[in-house]
Amino acid sequence: MTGKESRVRSALLAAGRAFVLSFASIVGSVTLFVLAVTSIAFVLLGVGLVTTPWVLEAVRAHANQRRLLAATWSDVRIPVPYRHFPQDLRTGFTGQVERTTLMLKDPATWRDLRWLLTDMTAGYVLLTLSFGLLAYPVEGLVLAAGLWRVFEDSTYWYGFVPVGDQWTGLAAAALGIAIFHVGLWASRPLLRLHFVLARSALAPAPQQELALRIDRLTETRHEAVDTAASELRRIERDLHDGAQARLVAMGMSLGTIEALVEKDPAQAKKLLAAARASSAEALTELRDLVRGIHPPVLAERGLGDAVRALAMRMPVESEVGVELTGRAGAPVESAAYFAVSETLTNVVKHADADRVWVDVHHAEGMLRISVTDNGRGGAAVGAGSGLSGIERRLGTFDGVLAVSSPAGGPTMVTMEIPCALS
């Protein structure tokens, strides 16, 4: 493909994306802004206490979807600065009041509302320009092809060209071609500018971002300590209930064999065969336990091959793409591996998918992993969900998790961990 063909293709792709996104920008943002303002206004009447958390969760999902598209379409990273709800949040009406209060106290909520205003105005204009510069020239060509005859008795303005005869129709076509060439160069930057504008509205101020970062790191430090303690208890329990119990039983069997070896050799042989089988099972359990702590393929061959090995064991068709020029640190590789493993497990358990795609690459100091399936969708990060555990695991390394999972699918889980490759 030549450079010109590549430029045309990328410009048309950006224009198509802008066209689709413009509907979400004008319809989604306007609807959610009206609902959010109305619901907040009704808080004093009591009705808003019930509706506000649901509406603001929808606003956050809308904003998170834009964050995901910004990262995947234009490589613009927008932080997710929402405060986490406490684990002991009550249920019922009292819980709704607490949830509403916490969400309204969160500065990110008001930034979301500011972004909705920006998105439905300046953001929509940028999207319209992005696809309009490539779509509007079609009208100029149609006018030159004969549509100008409709306007013989009146003047029709195409841009600044008054169209009324064949010559002005050709002038309109020339203007359309000029606009099309401008669009080839401007469509992608305009789409990126839309996401940059969204980042300016959604991202917290540097001081707020630093405070959030400190709070987040403090929280993830405690979570890492709790996770390590929980993992240690799991290992102890697995050893006690599995391999240790088998080894104890095998020791007792060997004692019995020692007593029977002269009196009843046939029975001793049977017990010896059972002890051999028990030792093999204990060895298998120990290998599985070691694999659960740190898989050998991860240590020996790196994250890419370890993810491929995970995908090969999937009961659904899978496709893995890896673009890594080196290896990340062992803790980062381990966190990324188990995050992918948990995500794939969720796909098998809940997605009802028959195909999954995994993409692993590193760019601009960031390890990015996306897991996409063609299942039924509806996945969400929330208390008690498997995705929440993945988010906590990544948070230990200042990583982020974004989920796009509309009802009916597909589901795309994107993970990012800042790290360097060696």
Proportion of the chain above pLDDT 70, given as a percent = 77
| Max avg pLDDT among 116-130, 247-261, 376-390 | 116-130
* CA separation, residue 113 to residues 27, 45, 321, 343 (Å): 15, 21, 38, 31
- Sequence-ordered list of residues with C-beta below 8 angstroms from that of 224, at least 6 positions apart, any chain: 396
- pLDDT tens per residue across span 183-227: 889 899 999 999 999 999 988 866 655 665 666 666 656 555 555
Q: Which of 199, 203, 200, 183 is nearest to 18 (CA)?
A: 183
Q: How confident is the model at residue 125 (pLDDT cuts 50, 70, 90)?
A: very high
Q: Which residue has the tokens 């930034």?
A: 111
Q: In this model, does residue 124 exceed pLDDT 90?
A: yes
Q: How confident is the model at residue 153 (pLDDT cuts 50, 70, 90)?
A: low
HEC assignment per residue over the chain: CCHHHHHHHHHHHHHHHHHHHHHHHHHHHHHHHHHHHHHHHHHHHCHHHHHHHHHHHHHHHHHHHHHHHHHHHHCCCCCCCCCCCCCCCCCHHHHHHHHHHHHHHCHHHHHHHHHHHHHHHHHHHHHHHHHHHHHHHHHHHHHHCCHHHHHCCCCEEECCEEECCHHHHHHHHHHHHHHHHHHHHHHHHHHHHHHHHHHHHHCCCHHHHHHHHHHHHHHHHHHHHHHHHHHHHHHHHHHHHHHHHHHHHHHHHHHHHHHHCCCCHHHHHHHHHHHHHHHHHHHHHHHHHHHHHCCHHHHHHCHHHHHHHHHHCCCCEEEEEEECCCCCCHHHHHHHHHHHHHHHHHHHHHHCCCEEEEEEEEECCEEEEEEEECCCCCCCCCCCCHHHHHHHHHHCCCCEEEEECCCCCCEEEEEEEECCCC
Task: Return mean pLDDT, the chain.
Answer: 80
Residue with the bigger pLDDT between 292 and 339: it is 339
Question: What pLDDT is recorded for position 116?
Answer: 94
Task: State how far the Cα of 243 lies from the Cα of 232, in Å rounded to an integer.
Answer: 16
- pLDDT tens per residue across span 371-415: 988 888 877 766 556 677 787 777 777 788 888 887 777 888 888
State mean pLDDT over 322-348: 85
State mean pLDDT over 94-121: 87
How open is the CA angle 69-73-76, to the nearest 5 degrees? 75
| Max avg pLDDT among 21-35, 93-107, 219-233, 354-368 | 21-35
- Encoding tokens for residue 407? 């009802």
- Encoding tokens for residue 233? 């208890």
- pLDDT tens per residue across span 297-306: 777 888 888 8
Contact 216, 392 (CB under 8 A): no
Question: What pLDDT is recorded for position 209?
Answer: 57
Question: What pLDDT is recorded for position 309?
Answer: 86
Contact 401, 370 (CB under 8 A): no
Question: What pLDDT is recorded for position 113?
Answer: 93
- Structural domain spans, the chain: 3-204, 211-293, 301-418
Question: What pLDDT is recorded for position 111?
Answer: 92
Contact 289, 235 (CB under 8 A): yes
Question: What pLDDT is recorded for position 33?
Answer: 95
Amino acid at site 270: K
Q: Which residue has the tokens 């065969």?
A: 273
State mean pLDDT over 67-84: 83
Q: Which residue has the tokens 């208890």?
A: 233
Half-sphere exposure of 179 (CA within 13 A, CB side): 23
- Encoding tokens for residue 384? 């008690």
Q: In this model, does residue 126 exceed pLDDT 90?
A: yes
- Encoding tokens for residue 287? 């290998």
Question: What pLDDT is recorded for position 195?
Answer: 94
Q: In this model, does residue 266 exceed pLDDT 90?
A: no
pTM greater than 0.95:
no
- pLDDT tens per residue across span 128-137: 999 988 888 8
Question: What pLDDT is recorded for position 292?
Answer: 53
Q: Which of 136, 82, 132, 84 is nearest to 109 (CA)?
A: 82
Spell out the CATH class of 301-418.
alpha beta
> Which range (242-256, 294-308, 332-346, 373-387) has the least confidence?
242-256
Contact 376, 327 (CB under 8 A): no
State mean pLDDT over 169-182: 85
Q: How confident is the model at residue 59 (pLDDT cuts 50, 70, 90)?
A: very high
Q: How confident is the model at residue 331 (pLDDT cuts 50, 70, 90)?
A: confident
Task: State how far the Cα of 395 lies from the Cα of 417, in Å rounded to an integer.
Answer: 9
Question: What pLDDT is recorded for position 225?
Answer: 57
